[in-house]
Amino acid sequence: MAIVNLDARGLKCPMPVLKVVSLAPKIPQGDILEVAGDCPTFEQDIRRWCERESKTMLAVNTDGEGLVIKIQF
């Protein structure tokens, strides 16, 4: 299991989710994506994407500049 990091801080929605969408096909099943973002709707947008794509949100943590969301693929 590998951990892939994506820094989407400073991007306004929907760009963080679009970055996740473009990266998702390259992430093997079982790996974890840690995506950082600071857009006001970041958590909500990622949560909706996970539900649509049947991915599991493992954690949502604050990092001082925004949130870091862990997604299980």
How does pLDDT run across 7-24, given as a tens digit for each residue?
A: 999 999 999 999 999 999
The pLDDT value recorded for residue 44 is 97
The pLDDT value recorded for residue 65 is 82
Q: What is the pTM of this model?
A: 0.93
Full domain range(s) for residue 48: 3-72
The pLDDT value recorded for residue 63 is 87
Q: Counting Cβ atoms within 10 Å, is residue 63 exposed (0-12), middle (13-18) or buried (19+)?
A: exposed
The pLDDT value recorded for residue 8 is 97
Total structural domains within the chain: 1
70 DSSP β-pair partners: 34, 59
Q: What is the CATH number of the domain that holds 42?
A: 3.30.110.40
The pLDDT tens digits for 36-62 are 999 999 999 999 999 999 999 999 999
Q: Give, to the nearest 10 degrees, the angle between helix 42-53 and helix 15-23.
A: 30
